[in-house]
């Protein structure tokens, strides 16, 4: 198929990376279409669940952030909002969605996709942007979920060039059952469960883990390092 070896990467590994990246793109497009169809579908006789959901959505219309609002369990941007004028929100919105326990609307996902090009070195080197990103490892409910959402939206690879290099990378050895990026995300999730003592079957080693842990952020960040 024309794939050749490159330094540090086999031909089959290059093929598998392109395969996973294409499959990811198709999956993301499918999610956007399905979410959009779900929002546009209007039933004449709403179920009890939908009525309650609408009531709850009305009560919780405003997010904790002034640039966003919540409608029917999804995060939306307010009128006249632009990521070009609010670059930090390309990172912050994932944390806001986690805090409010809501999904991203299809419109906001499309807006993110159109704005990926504005994630530049100025944003990567921003002290505030890095603080926001690092804080998710210690202040979020589920850091793995936030990182996955950022990865699915394409933000993670743009903000962290080192992560982009291992995205979709397959290594054919005894230790890698998943792609490298998937291993990193799963490791963060597993370690987070150990720290929060939420494993389905706790190991004796983890029973006193929290008492000996000085810095949750550093530990989770080390799990995420490529």
User: How many separate domains does the chain show?
Assistant: 1
In a domain, 160, yes or no: yes
- The average pLDDT across 89-108 equals 92
Q: Express as a percent the part of the chain with pLDDT over 90.
A: 37
Confidence of residue 209 (pLDDT cuts 50, 70, 90): low
The pLDDT assigned to 126 comes to 96
Q: Return the half-sphere exposure (C-beta side, CA atoms, 13 A cut-off) of residue 185.
A: 20
- The tens digit of pLDDT for each residue in 28-77 reads 788 878 877 876 774 444 555 455 555 555 444 555 567 899 988 899 99
In a domain, 74, yes or no: yes
The pLDDT assigned to 59 comes to 44
* Tokens (6 digits) for 84: 């070009």
In a domain, 143, yes or no: yes
In a domain, 181, yes or no: yes
In a domain, 159, yes or no: yes
- The tens digit of pLDDT for each residue in 144-175 reads 999 999 999 999 999 999 999 888 887 766 66
The residues, any chain, with a CB within 8 Å of residue 172's CB and separated by 6 or more, are 10, 12, 13
In a domain, 188, yes or no: yes
Structural domain boundaries, residue 45: 11-224
The pLDDT assigned to 56 comes to 54
> Partners of 68 in the beta sheet?
77
Alpha helices in the chain (DSSP H): 11-40, 48-59, 89-100, 106-115, 121-124, 127-139, 143-152, 155-159, 161-166, 180-196, 209-212, 216-224
The pLDDT assigned to 35 comes to 77
In a domain, 198, yes or no: yes
In a domain, 4, yes or no: no
């Amino acid at each position: 198929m024309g794939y050749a070896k490159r330094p540090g990467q086999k031909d089959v590994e290059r093929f598998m990376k392109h395969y996973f990246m294409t499959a990811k793109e198709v999956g993301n497009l499918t999610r956007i279409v399905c979410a959009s169809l779900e929002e546009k579908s209007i039933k004449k006789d709403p179920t009890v669940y939908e009525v309650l959901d609408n009531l709850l959505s009305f009560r919780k219309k405003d997010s904790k952030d002034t640039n966003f609002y919540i409608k029917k369990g999804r995060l939306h941007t307010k009128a006249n909002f632009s990521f070009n004028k609010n670059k930090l929100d390309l990172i912050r919105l994932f944390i806001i969605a986690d805090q409010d326990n809501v999904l991203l609307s299809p419109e906001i996902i499309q807006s993110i996709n159109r704005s990926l090009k504005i994630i530049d070195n100025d944003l990567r080197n921003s002290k505030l942007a890095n603080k926001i990103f690092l804080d998710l490892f210690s202040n979020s409910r589920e850091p793995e979920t936030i990182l996955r959402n950022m990865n699915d939206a394409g933000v993670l690879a743009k903000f962290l060039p080192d992560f982009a290099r291992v995205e979709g990378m397959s290594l054919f050895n005894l230790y890698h059952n998943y792609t490298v990026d998937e291993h990193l995300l799963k490791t963060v999730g597993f370690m987070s469960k150990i720290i929060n003592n939420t494993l389905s079957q706790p190991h004796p080693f983890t029973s006193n883990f929290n008492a000996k842990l000085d810095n949750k952020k550093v530990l989770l960040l080390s799990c995420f390092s490529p």
